Chain A
């Protein structure tokens, strides 16, 4: 369903993603793990047509992503790591905007909006402006919006950051159902290993732009020779805390975006 070959992204001299290979099968739940700044979001942006790779090929649902971005966009949905809501619109308006852009029929989206806003417990706030929401409420709305149309592939970039355990539980149950019932391929990143253990069928770990290992959770634990996935992750990527590197000027917006949340 997704295949990336020799995928590389440079920002100036800095290599954010370094010649990686990824293959995700149809209907699979794939976890893309790595420490901060490893290149996860950059990879997802390339897979979802937002960034042009420096080199490499990407295929998604049999479309050549680089040559045919428009065709590709029909095949996937995405929940971004960074905020992407319109603060001047209400929760419901943000949902409607998305539904119309994705060509959903009115009766379909009206039903789903109610269902999803209930899922993330925002239904009673549907007419509030997003600018008045807390960080967690905004996050919940982003996720609800991302689940509105049921694509072939769903990208989730750290969907559950900043959410309480109850909400995380609801959301993963919903995503799991989407995968089981509609065979939606899931590609997600997270820093919570228990989420990976709960739902992922295959995992890739990336660090400094390079993929260190790909396989099932069992295979990875076995290769790293550790007790669980968390230990395997630390043993493979080292215990040093990461600093954001790369081109500071270009990166300023990204960092300020993170701070704004």
Chain B
């Protein structure tokens, strides 16, 4: 007699919530899977009434979208939760933020009122700090990159080594100077706006391209932060790069 998965009374989903969270400081070294485990445990500790999947090995219903790579900090990561009881989003935000370690910070929680958040995450705004690289060197490399029509790079992805164009999805690439470090080393900053395409083009791909087209080799690994993701605004190529995308949760907020 083969054992069947127990049929349980799974309570129906009555509410969906969208979270924006940040990955900061030393916790930027967490991978997506690390975050998933931490979130699921925090949800259990806070007693959030999650909806579960059926089967022998039921999982809480959580969808993760477009997570920033390991080692990259972010101010704009998105997750969606399905619940079997209606919760106050603000209280959930406070409780979850408290339960997660410092550095994985829940910034806002809104109730889902519109479908398909993933489709609204059209592009990301990144800043890339390059300690040890002077601003001039960085801006001439950026200019060389922008002049290209294509910039092929290769990266090991889940489906093996892939070669793709890192130039086309780059909407903006600008450079500025950070205030020098305590020991006086220079530090250039790249402001980068990249459309989400498949395979995804990430800041490290753009850095790989800068190395190829302009021999830019940072002496110290770059520090990358995703500042925002969302729909590209009209005129995304002018003005403050941080305004190049709009708030993807705006539609859920009434």
A binds B: no
